[in-house]
Amino acid sequence: MPAPDDAGQAAVILYDGWCNLCDSSVGFLLGRDREARFRFAALQSPAGKALLGGCASAERVDGTLVLIHDGRCATRSEAVLTILSLLPWPWPILGWLRLIPRRLRDDVYRFVARRRTVWFGRTTTCLTSIAAYRERFIE
């Protein structure tokens, strides 16, 4: 699944910009990604839509996490585990979760994803408004 090259060398995370769980996850990553390995774009943004368009149609799922890294698009649990593997210690240790079959991991991902707005709500503030991290977001 080739990915677009216009995002440069950094891994790009596409997330649901209106989901509190997703926004909190981006905030979590911003605080731990000391080497600025990730850039971010909301799926709903023009940049997010353009980047998602470079992924295979099977990977273009509304409201799911997409990681564009090394010319490939990863979604759901595979995206989460790859993101964790790119973070500094101790997060890569969670890579052992890849021993669990992907179908089962993705079922858990979908279970949480279907309930995320009920459990965590929706946001009214876009993370790109945080001045300290503005350069990490693709516009």
Q: What per-residue confidence (pLDDT) applies to 87?
A: 94
Give the H or E element holding residue 107.
helix 102-120
Q: What is residue 86's predicted lDDT score, i.e. its pLDDT?
A: 94
Residue-range domain boundaries for the chain? 11-136
Distance CA 109, CA 76 (A): 6
Report which secondary-structure segment, H or E, holds 117. Answer: helix 102-120
**Residue appearing with tokens 């585990």:** 81
Helix (H) or strand (E) holding 21: helix 20-32
Helix (H), strand (E) at residue 40: strand 38-42
Q: Is 36 left (phi over 0), alpha (psi -120 to 50) or beta?
A: left
DSSP summary character for residue 100: S
Give SS3 for 73.
Answer: strand
* Predicted pLDDT of residue 38: 95
Predicted local distance difference test score (pLDDT) of residue 54: 80
Indicate the burial class of 63 (C-beta count within 10 angstroms; 0-12, 13-18, 19 or more).
middle
Low-confidence ranges of the chain (pLDDT < 50): 1-7, 60
The reported pTM is: 0.81
